[in-house]
Homo-oligomer: A and B are copies of this chain.
Amino acid sequence: MSTPEVGDLRTGERAETTEETADVAVVGAGLAGLVAARDLDRAGLRPVVLEARDRVGGRTWNRPVPGGTVEAGGQFIGPTQERLAALADELGVATFATYHEGRTRVDVTGGGLAFKGARRVLAELERMAAEVPPDAPWTADRAAEWDARTFHGWLAGAGEPDASGVLRMLTTAVFAAEPAELSLLHVLAYIRSAGSVDLLTEVAGGAQERRFAGGSHELSVRLAARLGARNLRLGAPVRRVRQGPDGVEVAADGVTVRARRAIVAVPPAIGDRIEHDPPLPGGRAQLHQRMPPGSTIKVSCLYETPFWRDEGLNGGLLRDRGPITVTFDNSPPGGDRGVLVAFAQGDDARRLARLPAGARRAAVLDVLGHHFGERAARPSGYLETDWTEEPWTRGCFGGNFGPGGWTRYGPLLREPSGLVHWAGAETSAVWMNYMEGAVRSGERAAAEVAAALTRP
């Protein structure tokens, strides 16, 4: 298989529609779709991947900014994220430790006592999460009860009112959604899916522990290069999937692919855009209505140097009010340039989005200046990525179930619809909504299809 330059893959729109045949049509060139394509190829099946955007990577994305490139989407890798680590090894993408030496800035009402209260609540959540089977949260003994209330409602009864600010901060940092929007069962399933609260929230020892040299986006870029231009079409949003007795016809802008099966690897919340013939079953269609992603604005600020390190700061900030609640030192390895990444999440992101650009920037830099000094308020480069504004994503980090969702629609997450299989980070029982989950979902969907098509 040839390995063209990535630039060659940018095919853009076409006036004419070409027809192609493949063994499997894969919808979406995020990590899930690209990993599925890799595994299909290994199984001797030819995939064709159709991607709406003019780039690969989905919710991972290297964006240029004066002075360099910043990671605008998912970027971390941590312990137990084994399939993601294996993928990076395989592709020769190195990882390095997230800079975490020195003090984290903390600005939380109640200080240490608030954290102590939060820890007690989180320990209780972990005990409950242990009762949730990760591959079938709807079968937990208390699933109906936990799915009938919001996380907010449960927190209100948890007996630690002073910890509410910290717990809200952690919730929005993990889900990009507010406790009021989430089913308690979703929070428990999520903890179980990751393994523990610490694995979700920590830098050292948690999901934020390491980063990818060149950015996580590099994984998708290399997968795409290996896949080859012949098997990947960019700028080709899929509009319709037709199923016949022996195969599928997947119609995208500019190209129609006839294949034996399809794998749809896009977030459930945008799944309704694809017309299916025959129509999808009602339950599957309603699942697509019930996993809204949260709201995030990720802001990258560039500096000549990571000057905060000289002052004993690690660049991290934990804050229990908006617009910015969490920051990290996101400098490239070596530290010859400084990058702070700041997150507005949940309601903070929604409020920030309503401000004009100048006021948004001022509000963000005000927080950074306050906690990291005047220099932090004068970055040489500044880039916001509001994932709700991205037409092919419309929210981050991933789809969340509100109350009632898991017990009614959870069983349908991975259930194929005829010749159509489902992938994407939301469908993973392990590290759901993380890059690890995306990789696992692609591997799982490819294995389903390979088993069906190579059966003796």
Contact = CB atoms under 8 A, between A and B. Distances in A.
Interface of A: 144, 147-150, 152-153, 156, 177-181, 239, 269-270, 272-273, 275, 279, 281-283, 285-286, 289-290, 292-293, 295, 347, 350, 353-354, 386, 388-389, 391, 394-395, 402-405, 408
Contact of A391 (B273, B279, B389): B279
Contact of A153 (B149, B282, B286): B149
Given A149-B153, A273-B272, A293 B283 contact: no
A179 B177 CA distance: 22
B295 A292 contact: no
A353 B280 CA distance: 13
A350 B179 CA distance: 27
Copies in the complex: 2
A388 B272 CA distance: 13
B293 A389 contact: no
Contacts of A156: 148
Given A153-B153, A273-B273, A403-B403, A389 B292 contact: no
- CB-CB nearest 9 A-B residue pairs: A282-B388, A181-B404, A148-B180, A289-B292, A402-B402, A148-B152, A279-B391, A180-B404, A149-B153
A203 to B, nearest CB: 29
A294 to B, nearest CB: 9
Given A150-B148, A270-B272, A403-B402, A286 B282 contact: no
A273 B148 CA distance: 29
Contacts of A273: 272-273, 275
B290 A403 contact: no
A96 to B, nearest CB: 33
A282 B149 contact: no
Given A273-B273, A283-B353, 18 more contacts: A147-B180, A152-B403, A181-B403, A181-B404, A272-B272, A275-B391, A279-B391, A281-B389, A282-B353, A282-B389, A282-B394, A282-B395, A283-B354, A285-B391, A286-B388, A289-B292, A289-B395, A347-B408
Contacts of A153: 148-150, 153
Given A181-B403, A181-B404, A408-B350, A286 B394 contact: yes
A180 B295 contact: no
A51 B347 CA distance: 36
A290 B272 CA distance: 13
A284 to B, nearest CB: 10
Contact of A178 (B347, B353, B391, B404): B404
